[in-house]
Chains A and B, each alone.
Chain A
Amino acid sequence: MTVAVFFGCTFIAFGPAVALFLFTIARDPLRVIFLIAGAFFWLVSLLLSSLVWFITVQISNKNSAAQQRGLLIFGVVLSVLLQEAFRYGYYRLLKKANEGLLALSQEDTMPISMRQLAYVSGLGFGFMSGAFSVVNILSDSLGPGTVGIHGDSQHYFISSAFMTLAIILLHMFWGVVFFESCERQRWWALGAVVISHLVVSCLTFVNPHYQGSLVPTYIILSVMAAWAYLCAGGSLRNLKLCLTCKDKDFLLANHRPR
């Protein structure tokens, strides 16, 4: 457990998310505020689910390991459902706030679009979720110890880092798809998001057999990424234009007069 492990795992877990934050969110104060508000909503959902779990644990038989495990699984499922419920609650709040602001101001356009809000709130959820999952583990990795000395997996840190990365990005994609489906009233899409979140969480029950949890999680991540890209208005054509730098908007924005 060295400093190298600490930095490596930190960058794996938070690298892409922090990059996204720095390049797309940090410059706009309104987005930063909504990001932090999203993180706050996730936190409240976690608080509620912990409260319920705590109560069930107190009234249960503390000596039975199987029962405790069962309660933990119940806690996980409840937490996932509550997170999605709070995501919906945040959506409703943002919608109301946006409508209110639109009515107040004389402008026709809102200062921040619903799609941006979806992205930002998803990332907020992701940041908080990732941070809560992995920060304690990272800080432990700086201290002394031997990984897996009692026969547990040796890959604890790196698998946690990769899982965290997947979860953060997934939250972002779920946010985009969720808000889009709420806007379009496509309830099946909403259900799909909730179910995929449940699937990802339940896959982690097979840890430490990481091939059973990490691989499917990353497959789901790529599917959600494609779906979110399509929801946000992307298409194959856009992608091709962007990659070959023939994208008109990009060209116009970077137009250099000769």
Chain B
Amino acid sequence: MNTSDSEEDSYNERSSLVQCESPTIPSYNQDHDMSLPQETDTKRRRPVSSGLDEPGPVERERASTPDGEEEELTLKYGAKHVIMLFIPVTLCMVVVVATIKSVSFYTEKTSQRLIYTPFEEDPNYVGQRLLYSLLNTMVMISVIVVMTIILVVLYKYRCYKFIHGWLILSSLMLLFWFSFMYLGEVFKTYNVAMDYPTLAMIIWNFGVVGMICIHWKGPLRLQQAYLIVISALMALIFIKYLPEWSAWVILGAISIYDLIAVLCPKGPLRMLVETAQERNEPIFPALIYSSAMVWMVGMADSSNPDSADERLRNEGGALAQEGVESEDDAAQGGRRRCSAEEDLEEDRGVKLGLGDFIFYSVLVGKAAATGGDWNTTLACFVAILIGLCLTLLLLAIFKKALPALPISITFGLVFYFSTDNLVRPFMDSLAAHQYYI
């Protein structure tokens, strides 16, 4: 099966930049840094989602506080942000691992490949296999680079309609076609009899609600759930169609690319971020997972029409100070907070690009797929979480957009190979004798 253009597009978008700020959400310096890098690989961009984006909030800046308070707030809210990212990343990985372990379709090797990895790996010749995997990686990375540059150029010349169309097409494909495939395989695995009309109804509803939630408005939790599901679907596709060795080399190469693209002054991602900041626009707000816990500081001083929308998005969010999750409390909290405006900080929550979700899940999924050893999967999982934690720590220190892939993927790869080759024989011998360490 050759992938269609939409898939290619969605894949490439993933590698593209992602934006830092969404206009609706007033920027909170610390947080919007935390948000981002992960921008690097976002899957999609939400067309200037519209209804929600209002020029209003942008001018609201948080009051500057003295350093000490900033640090204290950083720690308190920093930990909360880390957990707000741990949970969705964990959920995505759990979905991928559960699918890999139960549905055999995604681990069956086929001769079909993606068009971005044209060289077929032959298990018999090691040298050739290595060479082909390197070539596959180069092809894939160059495709990504080219698409990113095209995206940056489109963005610079304000071809928004084109970009939005691209995004809508790719999310359509994911939400309808890939989920149909996924459901089909799950039904086959569990031997569930299903008729087409029911299936059509399910897929239709799933897809349409997904499109609405992702590209327009919807409850925050539902939107988050959809983003996690589509990241998992995309990761599963990669796990199935990328050849063995190529997948590992691609993971390594893409984290290096991420590092370069976000940090180098002429990097495409960085240019995209800067252009968006100059224009004071949200870059592609869709396709970034946002755990927005938005407090509207200053609700009192701006009769903002979208504050109601924000409250809608808040409804799922936990309020750090109050520590309570309920709409009533949110509303009350808002009123209470308005009175103590000076002490409060706006908390924009954290954002992580969907591409990061996808590649983390690909790594853990491949660890689960090859060998069937749960220790390796667990080790990769912990390694990725620690990498994410360190990345967020760096984000809090440096306060600028950082790539989310390098540290986590490096840890993940190191732990995968070392656990698979060193720890596994050790633990197996121990388990055979029932020795405990």
1/0 per residue B65-99: CB within 8 Å of A?
Answer: 00011011001100110110010000000000000
A36 touches B (CB below 8 Å): yes
Q: Does B191 contact A (CB under 8 A)?
A: no
Q: Do A33 and B374 contact each other (CB < 8 Å), given the known contacts A54-B426, A104-B68?
A: no
**B419 in contact with A47 (CB, 8 Å):** yes
A7 CB-CB contact with B under 8 Å: no
Question: Does chain B have a CB within 8 A of A208?
Answer: yes
Return chain A residues, CB-CB under 8 Å to B426.
46, 49-50, 53-54, 75
A93 at the interface (CB under 8 A from B): no
Q: Nearest chain B CB to A40's CB is how many angstroms away? A: 5
For residue B435, which residue of chain A has the nearest CB?
A: A204
B224: Cβ under 8 A from any A Cβ: no
Tell whether A76 is near chain B: CB-to-CB under 8 Å. Answer: yes
- Of B5-13, B174-182, B269-277, B379-387, the one contacting chain A is B379-387
B422 at the interface (CB under 8 A from A): yes
Q: Which residue of A lies closest to B429 (CB)?
A: A72
**Are B79 and A33 in contact, with the CB atoms below 8 A?**
yes
Bound-state CA distance A69–B429 (Å) is: 9
Cα A137 to Cα B379 in complex, Å, equals 16
Q: When the two chains form the complex, which single residue of A47, A73, A208 contacts B434, counting CB atoms closer than 8 Å?
A: A208
Instruction: Give the distance in Å from the alpha carbon of A54 to the alpha carbon of B418 in the complex.
Output: 11
Residues of chain B lying within 8 A (CB to CB) of residue A250: none
Say yes or no: B435 contacts A50, CB within 8 Å: no
Most A-side CB within 10 Å, residue of B71, B382, B421, B428: B382
Contact with A along B410-437 (1 / 0, CB 8 A): 0000010011011101111111011111
Residue on A with the closest CB to B414? A47
Any chain A CB within 8 A of the CB of B375? yes
B373 contacts the other chain (Cβ, under 8 Å)? Answer: yes
Main secondary structure, interface of B, reads helix
Bound CA–CA A132/B422 (angstroms): 14
Contact (Cβ within 8 A) B437 A104? no
Q: Mark B367-393, 1 if CB is under 8 A from A, else 0.
A: 000000111001100110110010000
Give bound CA distance, A47 to B378, whole Å: 13
Interface bin, chain B: 35 or more
Q: How many Å from the CB of B93 to the closest CB on chain A?
A: 14
Contact A47 B72 (CB under 8 A): no
Instruction: Evaluate contact between A132 and B80: CB separation under 8 angstroms.
Output: no
Most chain B CB neighbours (cut-off 10 Å) among A39, A73, A160: A39
Which stretch from A105-113, A218-226, A228-236 is at the chain B interface?
A105-113
Asked whether, in the complex, the Cβ of A29 is within 8 Å of the Cβ of B82, the reply is yes
Q: Would you call B383 and A40 a contact (CB within 8 A)?
A: yes
- Is A10 on the interface with B (CB-CB < 8 A)? no
In Å, the complex CA distance between A112 and B428 comes to 38
Contacts of A107 in B (CB 8 A): 72
Say whether B382 contacts A128, CB under 8 Å.
yes
A106 lies within 8 A of B431 (CB) = no
CA distance A34 to B423 in the complex (A): 24
Q: Is the CB of A3 closer than 8 A to any CB of chain B?
A: no
Complex Cα distance, B433 from A133, in Å, reads 12
Complex CA distance for A229 and B294, rounded to whole angstroms: 41
Known: A76-B430, A135-B374. A204 touches B436 (CB 8 A): yes
Chain A residues in 8 Å Cβ range of B437: 46, 49, 76, 79-80, 83, 129, 133, 201
Given A46-B423, A105-B71: A36 touches B435 (CB 8 Å cut-off): no
For this complex, 25 residue pairs linking A to B, each with C-beta atoms less than 8 Å apart, are: A32-B83, A32-B86, A33-B79, A37-B389, A40-B386, A47-B422, A50-B423, A50-B426, A50-B427, A53-B426, A54-B426, A72-B429, A75-B426, A105-B71, A105-B75, A106-B72, A107-B72, A131-B375, A135-B375, A135-B378, A160-B434, A163-B434, A167-B436, A201-B435, A201-B436
Q: Report B's interface with A, CB cutoff 8 A.
A: 68-69, 71-72, 75-76, 79-80, 82-83, 86, 373-375, 378-379, 382-383, 385-386, 389, 415, 418-419, 421-423, 425-431, 433-437
* 7 A-B pairs closest in CB distance: A29-B83, A106-B68, A207-B434, A105-B72, A29-B79, A50-B426, A50-B422
Known: A50-B418, A54-B421. 16 other contacts (CB 8 A): A29-B80, A32-B86, A39-B382, A40-B382, A47-B419, A50-B425, A51-B422, A53-B426, A72-B429, A83-B437, A104-B68, A105-B72, A106-B69, A136-B375, A159-B434, A204-B436
